Structure 1
Amino acid sequence: MTIVVSGATGHLGRLTVEHLLARGVAASDIVAAGRTPEKLAALAEATGVRTAVIDFTDPATLDAALAGAEKFVLVSSSEVGQRAAQHQNAIDAAARAGVAQLVYTSAPKATDTTLILAPEHKATEEAIAASGVPATVLRNGWYHENYDGSYAQAVQSGVYLASTGDGRVASAPRTDYAEAIAAVLTEDGHLGAVYELSGDVAWTGDDFAAAASAASGRSVVYRSVSPEEHLAALKDAGLDDGTAGFVVALDGNIRDGLLGETSGDLARLIGHATQPLETYLTALAAK
């Protein structure tokens, strides 16, 4: 059996490789695929896995990487605005290779949500369905890691500022999501399934401030501001208009409850509770 993992030099892809190895998949059965030869070489040296240099805009590289592959992890591209076309190339290559299982990392409620990040994921899920390639869709919720910068800023200033109102975020660490990928690849019964993955606990801005206080030993309070105030604060901090607007839109999605679902799917797939936010922030503080 050969499992090809795209994005293997990124955080989620590399963690997926590590979890596959931990589940007993032979290193020789794993192909770590990515764009950077130097990073792939370092990964191969550290783990013994095979590697392949791929470019989602170059179908020939995808065909070479997927030759003889039974399973393919399509970690969604980080290039917002180009994802749909890039993913289509990867799906087409998987179809040509006769892949028996494609695992795609999508977004919450991708086909039926106003989440700002959803449209390209919706297009990808539709392309997978149209391709006929057997698939498992993992709709990943928010990562704890998305808040590394917010934690550092909050500890420094004593204020966690956001325009999420009373909205909740059911986040979990990347390693839990990567473990779920490894689970659906190494267990039976997941073909055709769509899982809504999220952390076990959905936290508010006040909860984040409390967790940051406990982790750092410093007092952090949550300051809830309007979208307009948040936009102005982000621009004053040096963010360009586009980035600041994107952050405010995401906070609006959280305020509207789009990232607060706790389905329990993630914990069920990995066989244990997801890591609590405070535990993650405490480990972050110790680095």
Structure 2
Amino acid sequence: MIVVTGASGQLGRLVIEALLKKIPASEIVAAVRKPDSVNDLAERGVQVRQIDYSRPETLTGAFKKGEKLLLISSSEIGQRVSQHQAVIDAAKNAGVELIAYTSLLHADVSPLPLAAEHKETEQLLQASGVPFVVLRNSWYTENYLASVPVALQYGVLSGCAGEGRISSAARADYAEAAAVVLASDNQAGRIYELAGDESYSLQELAQEIALQSGKTVAYQNLPESAYKDALLGAGLPEPVATLLAESDVGASKGGLFDDSHQLSQLIGRPTTPLSVLLKAALASAS
């Protein structure tokens, strides 16, 4: 039995879809805060169990008979460590034999402030005594493609990543990698640095947007504070604006670059190119 936490989220749903191609639905558990959000999975035979990272009493029972568990990192920055500790403790109490955790690329040495909670969670896993495997994911390409409509509207793609190269990949690529690991044997103790085969700078992203759209789009590199202010002006919450600005600075220092090709090796195919994902983003924006 494989338990996937956060199964109603964008990554979790894709992981379950990938698992359904490998194992029977009856051997998959979708662990979610709101069971009604995955009624479609239940109709396909996936077991649905309710959990809440912030309510430890909901966890152990939901993990019972689970041989492997995918801990998709919490989205609640600042609360992740305590929530992840609760999941790890519950998995141990439930007799889970392997925990797979979605961490951040090069979390142990990353310049991104976002890495701190991931690094601490990896340390919690190490101390737990439960066998584990770490999936250190780079950025989702979709994170940057969310800016495409604004870039087209104003002819400017803003950021503060300088000339930093970004080895992002499609969310579906990371999900497929997680499914491969969960469906495979002898994964305990492994740490995967997962990133796209290609890398690009934000200036190159702007050039690709311009090329595919036929419109003028230039990259505007801003100081971190100015980029954060621009994000706040666009209506983003302060924690999100801070996260994105800090992450861009981290990217400028090489924090989102990796050329080991471990992701494509794991999924057995090249990662989805930026140009392909951008084409789809432009089509949906038109």
TM bucket (normalised to shorter chain) is over 0.9
The residue type equivalent to 1:37 in the other structure is P
* 1:214–1:278 CA contact under 8 A, matched in 2: no
The alpha carbon displacement at 1:241 in A equals 4.8
Task: Name the residue aligned to 1:44.
Answer: 42
Q: Is the 8 A contact 2:72 2:101 kept in 1?
A: yes
Is 1:268 the counterpart of 2:274? The answer is no
What whole-Å deviation, never above 9, does each CA across 1:36-67 have from its counterpart, x for those lacking one? 1211223312x321100101122232111111
1:72/1:241 CA distance change after superposition, 3 Å: closer
Using structure 1 for the length normalisation, give the TM-score: 0.94
Match of 2:78 in 1: 81
Specify which of 64, 67, 84 is matched with residue 64 of structure 2: 67
Q: Does 1:98 align with 2:98?
A: no
Task: Tell me which amino acid in the other structure corresponds to 1:102.
Answer: I
Give the alignment partner of residue 130 of structure 2, picking from 130, 133, 138. 133
Distance in 2 (CA, whole Å) between partners of 1:5 and 1:146 is 22
C-alpha contact 1:33 1:40 (8 A) present in aligned 2: no
Q: Is the 8 A contact 2:148 2:281 kept in 1?
A: no
Counterpart secondary structure, 2:48: strand
- Structure 2 Cα separation of the partners of residues 268 and 142 of structure 1: 18
Instruction: List per-residue Cα deviations over 1:111-147 (Å, max 9, x = no partner).
Output: 2233111111111111111111111100011001112
Matched, 1:156 2:156: no
User: Partner of 1:218 in structure 2?
Assistant: 215
The one-letter code matched in structure 2 to 1:266 is L
- Quick check: 82-91 or 34-43, which moved more? 34-43
Structure 1 residues 91, 250: CA separation in 2 closer, same or farther (over 3 Å shift)? same
The corresponding residue for 2:25 is: 27
TM-score (norm 2): 0.94
Cα 1:242–1:3 shift into 2, 3 Å: closer
| CA distance in structure 2 between the aligned counterparts of 1:18 and 1:91, rounded to whole angstroms | 24
TM superposition shift of 1:179: 0.4
Partner of 2:203: 206
* Residue 235 of structure 1: how far off its partner (Å): 3.8
Change in Cα spacing, 1:19 to 1:242, as seen in structure 2 (3 Å) is: closer
Give the AA of the match of 2:209. A
- Percent of residue pairs bearing the same amino acid type: 45
Q: Which residue of structure 1 lines up, in the alignment, with residue 2 of structure 2? A: 3
- Distance (whole Å) between structure 2 residues aligned to residue 14 and residue 186 of structure 1: 16
Cα distance change on mapping 1:158 and 1:81 into 2, 3 Å: same
The match for 2:141 among 141, 144, 154 is 144
Q: Residue 118 of structure 2 corresponds to which residue in structure 1?
A: 121
